[in-house]
Structure 1
Amino acid sequence: MSISLYSKESATFISDCSTKISPVSSPSIPASLRLGLPEQLYLLHNRRIAKTGDGSNGVPTLTPAQSDDDTKAWKRKVAAIAGGVGALLLVIIIAVIVYLRIKKLASQTSETESSEQSPTTELEIVETPTYASPRLSSTSFLRLLTVEELKLATRSFSDSNIIGEGLLGLVYKGLLLDGSIAAIKKNIYHPVPNFANEVGHLASVQNQHLVKLIGYCEDRKQQFLVSEFISNGNVGQYLYDSEGLPIGKLGIKQRLSIALDAAKGLRYLHSLVPPFLHLHFRTSNVLVDENFTAKVSDYGIRKLVAETQHPGSSSSVDYFLDPESNSSRDFSVLSDVYSYGVFLLELISGREAHGKYQSSSDQNLLLQARESSHDDFVDKSLQAKDRTKRIMVDLALMCVDHISTRRPSMANVVKALEWIRERETGHVDHDCGEEIGAVKLGSELFNSCLSVELYIQLLIIGILYWT
């Protein structure tokens, strides 16, 4: 008997049986319930065969080929989206860089034009400039002292009262008649013309991060400047020994605080209208008080001394001097930034820029910073996060860039140092006016007061904090 014949007869038999045993037909009962069990099993078997055969009976099934096609399509979509986002970010970064370059060139052009009309290196009291903090507006607040008072204060300028040497000459510690202690600077060179007027201009510049000028003396050919006394002297004596090598007396918190205080002093000078140039910023001109709060001294004094009288005009190299500046007429705010960068390198390394240990040119502090690894350059006694050390070195190198237009402003240096200190010590000290908010980038928060320009510079040289 053939299979087809058997199937046909079986179907006929099942149909006859179901007719005999089926209940009374009712139009309200569904057809599936009116079927007998054998017929239901037969129909169910046929349905399974149909589902397995074409998979189109309402139940989706995926073959291996279909699964591979869907995976490839999904990967293509992800790749297309990632490529689009990456291209968009690249375009945005390039656009921002181009915009900042154009803006910077425009501002430099305007600064050049204004400097031609009113040179920033001329110290003249023509009208009171606008300042960002309390200041003196005239010389009436200066104390006019006599030579006899200063002799009495310094025990006739005794060698035991000498506390240093600056651009004008020797600096003495003196006890004035009112009981206050002062630093008295004696001009050992040719008398400065219009001395009282020049001193009055210096006295009108006052800020908490600057050493205050409190008086002067002019008697015949003798000239003196009298300023507040800062008890702990200059920062250099806490960084390196007489050979210029590290002594490790300052921790990372103190170094960051000193760097920030000094940067704020220069930022204030540069914020004046027109900008006030320090002209002779260096580590020896950053003084610290009993709380190790730093103040900047000797601002503007270089203009009081003719370059031919300058004691440092010998063959020795001045590592703090901007290589783009051949004379005081070539100075700009970016020249002060360069000098600050050298100071920051000394602060991080604990070594003197022109120390006696430098027996050859390859021991130049700037060359060491550019060519050695961060671990080799940074003071070994400095206990700080590796990220903090790296970014401080890179910030200093930005300041000493041989192309001045690539250096950051002191305002941006202050913002960067505040950001570094917050992440190293948890100390929040944002001094940038109103904050717009915060922008989350990667795993760190960059406060909005860290300017886009500085962030782009940090991004370009690859010194993001989380790298």
Structure 2
Amino acid sequence: MKAKSSGLIVGISIGVVIGALLAIIGLLCFRFHRKRSQIGNSSSRRAATIPIRANGADSCTVLSDSSIGTESSRTSVHNGVSSWFGGPRKSHVVAASGILEYPYKDIQKATSNFTSTIGKGAFGSVYKAQMSTGETVAVKVLATDSKQGEKEFHTEVMLLGRLHHRNLVNLVGYCAEKGQHMLIYVYMSKGSLSSHLYSEKHELLSWNLRVQIALDVARGLEYLHDGAVPPVIHRDIKSSNILLDESMGARVADFGLSREDMINRNASNIQGTFGYLDPEYISTRAFTKKSDVYSFGVLLFELIAGRNPLQGLLELVELAALNTGGQVGWEEIADSRLDGNFDEQELNDMAALAHKCINRSPRKRPAMRDTVQVLSHILKTRHNKKHHKRSKSDVVITIGQSDRQSSMNSEHRRVESMDSIADSVDV
């Protein structure tokens, strides 16, 4: 009996201990779950207060470079906007950037199963696509082994969602499905500037067109530097990144390496295209607006000389600068294919501007708004010369017509006088 009583006491004690342990574990689990809920709510509140930056008439949620680099590509966008490359998908959903998201099957159909190739580069292939709406677009598909990673893809989508200018290539959509990253642009029917400068398939670019293209690019960069909020540094200005539309208007393209000026002014690795890179950036890893100005100067010399940095362009410029003093005499580097069909004053003015742009000291380079003024002045002067010549020819024609009319009137009076004399003789 005594043994039974002892066993009962031990059993009850064990039960109490187990019950107490379970209660303690339950309490700890409850507190842990409550704490996680509070953290989640706090994060949601912080996410909901991400500032919206307005850029003129356009506004959109803008993520910084740091957030793009650290956040998952499947981060959801709050307030009912579709998720960023994740979650439920709908046809042509407006993404956080304000750019339309297209389903993979639509792009596959529009490109005839990716057979309509129109170009290829380090990033991957470009296809011409006919959308169901009838719109013709260009689809850039990021290659899986491309040096341009997912971060560059995100950067371009987010930046072009808020950058709108007639001299920038418009991004109309993107696709991120089936392990593919695609960017969809307005189709630029005349291709790249480099193809017109170096491919025999295209007619030679006239001097007048080259100056107009230079001004178009300058205006696009001026907008990035002074019109965008915050300012944007392109970081990869070169002839292959300048595209031409049906009327030969130039637009700046490829913003994969671009950065907002206020966010990141230093880079751990050198990025861009050698020959167009600012020497200051190469030595210090610091990029600024003046880094774009340097690249633009190289592009101006490329338009003048018809050769690129890989063809010894900068060496040619340095030799010419010794003879010209950076001001006049630049005709010696003019593209031989122009066969002298250019205005010497315009060429010298444009070359002098280009020489200032590639100054090794960034502080001595002009701002992009100054380059726009110089190039605009060149075209305005050309227009005034044409107008003046036209006015002079009109005056000459008027004088000639007046002389002929006076002569005809005199002849008419002389004939009438002879007729009257004849009549009098007959009488």
Q: Find the aligned partners of 1:407 and 1:227 in 2 and give their Cα distance.
A: 32
Tell me how far 1:200 sits from its aligned partner.
Answer: 3.0
* Structure-2 change in CA distance of 1:195 and 1:177 (3 Å): same
Give 2:346's match in structure 1, choosing from 365, 368, 388: 388
1:350 and 2:301 equivalent?
no
1:81-160 to 2 correspondences below 5 Å: 127-131=51-55, 134-135=57-58, 137=60, 139=95, 141-158=98-115
Q: Describe the superposition over 1:283-314 as per-residue Cα deviations: whole angstroms up to 9, x where unpaired.
A: 1111111111111111344569xx9999x88x
8 Å contact 1:136–1:205 — kept in the other structure? no
Three-state SS of the structure 1 residue aligned to 2:198 is: coil
For 2:352, the aligned partner's letter is D
For 1:186, the aligned partner's letter is V
8 Å contact 2:233–2:258 — kept in the other structure? no
Tell me how far 1:425 sits from its aligned partner.
Answer: 3.2
For 1:258, the aligned partner's letter is I
Three-state SS of the structure 2 residue aligned to 1:137 is: strand
Give 1:252's match in structure 2, choosing from 207, 218, 222: 207
Tell me how far 1:142 sits from its aligned partner.
Answer: 1.9
Three-state SS of the structure 2 residue aligned to 1:249 is: coil
1:179 and 2:102 equivalent?
no
Tell me how far 1:209 sits from its aligned partner.
Answer: 0.9
1:269 and 2:269 equivalent?
no
- Corresponding position of 1:107: none
Give the alignment's Cα RMSD to 1 decimal: 3.3
- Corresponding position of 1:211: 169
Paired-residue identity, %: 30
Q: Find the aligned partners of 1:204 and 1:213 in 2 and give their Cα distance.
A: 10
8 Å contact 1:252–1:384 — kept in the other structure? yes
Q: Find the aligned partners of 1:328 and 1:207 in 2 and give their Cα distance.
A: 31
For 1:219, the aligned partner's letter is E
1:417 and 2:368 equivalent?
no
8 Å contact 2:156–2:254 — kept in the other structure? no
Q: Describe the superposition over 1:237-296 as per-residue Cα deviations: whole angstroms up to 9, x where unpaired.
A: 222347xxxx97122221111111110000000012321011111111111111111111
Give 2:359's match in structure 1, choosing from 401, 404, 429: 401
Q: Find the aligned partners of 2:302 and 2:348 in 1 and give their Cα distance.
A: 14
Q: Find the aligned partners of 2:250 and 2:376 in 1 and give their Cα distance.
A: 15
1:159-178 to 2 correspondences below 5 Å: 161-166=116-121, 168-178=123-133
8 Å contact 2:268–2:285 — kept in the other structure? no
1:370 and 2:328 equivalent?
no
Q: Find the aligned partners of 2:289 and 2:123 in 1 and give their Cα distance.
A: 23
* Structure-2 change in CA distance of 1:266 and 1:302 (3 Å): closer
8 Å contact 2:52–2:59 — kept in the other structure? no
Three-state SS of the structure 2 residue aligned to 1:269 is: helix
Three-state SS of the structure 1 residue aligned to 2:128 is: strand
* Structure-2 change in CA distance of 1:142 and 1:328 (3 Å): farther
Tell me how far 1:328 sits from its aligned partner.
Answer: 10
* Structure-2 change in CA distance of 1:211 and 1:328 (3 Å): farther
Tell me how far 1:364 sits from its aligned partner.
Answer: 3.3
Three-state SS of the structure 1 residue aligned to 2:233 is: coil
Residue ranges of structure 1 left out of the alignment (5+ in a row) = 1-124, 429-467
Q: Find the aligned partners of 1:285 and 1:427 in 2 and give their Cα distance.
A: 33
For 2:181, the aligned partner's letter is Q
For structure 1, which segment, 326-335 or 392-401, has the greater mean C-alpha deviation from structure 2 after superposition?
Answer: 326-335
Q: Find the aligned partners of 1:254 and 1:385 in 2 and give their Cα distance.
A: 12
Residue ranges of structure 2 left out of the alignment (5+ in a row) = 1-48, 62-94, 261-266, 324-328, 387-427
8 Å contact 1:345–1:369 — kept in the other structure? no
- Corresponding position of 1:291: 247
Q: Describe the superposition over 1:383-407 as per-residue Cα deviations: whole angstroms up to 9, x where unpaired.
A: 2332211111110011111111110
For 1:410, the aligned partner's letter is M
8 Å contact 1:211–1:228 — kept in the other structure? yes
Q: Between Structure 1 and Structure 2, whose CA radius of gyration is higher?
A: 1
8 Å contact 2:156–2:258 — kept in the other structure? no
Q: Describe the superposition over 1:407-450 as per-residue Cα deviations: whole angstroms up to 9, x where unpaired.
A: 0000100011111111123399xxxxxxxxxxxxxxxxxxxxxx
* Structure-2 change in CA distance of 1:348 and 1:197 (3 Å): closer
Q: Find the aligned partners of 2:123 and 2:301 in 1 and give their Cα distance.
A: 26
8 Å contact 1:187–1:222 — kept in the other structure? yes
Off by >6 Å, runs of 4+ in structure 1: 307-310
Three-state SS of the structure 2 residue aligned to 1:171 is: strand
Q: Find the aligned partners of 1:288 and 1:169 in 2 and give their Cα distance.
A: 20
Three-state SS of the structure 2 residue aligned to 1:216 is: strand
For 2:244, the aligned partner's letter is V
For structure 1, which segment, 362-371 or 184-193, has the greater mean C-alpha deviation from structure 2 after superposition?
Answer: 362-371
Q: Find the aligned partners of 1:194 and 1:402 in 2 and give their Cα distance.
A: 28
* Structure-2 change in CA distance of 1:154 and 1:364 (3 Å): farther
Give TM-score scaled by structure 1 length. Answer: 0.55
For 2:110, the aligned partner's letter is A
For 1:336, the aligned partner's letter is D
Q: Find the aligned partners of 1:288 and 1:351 in 2 and give their Cα distance.
A: 18
Tell me how far 1:337 sits from its aligned partner.
Answer: 0.5
Tell me how far 1:166 sits from its aligned partner.
Answer: 4.3
8 Å contact 1:334–1:409 — kept in the other structure? yes
- Corresponding position of 2:295: 339
* Structure-2 change in CA distance of 1:329 and 1:198 (3 Å): farther
Give 1:237's match in structure 2, choosing from 170, 177, 195: 195
Give TM-score scaled by structure 2 length. Answer: 0.60
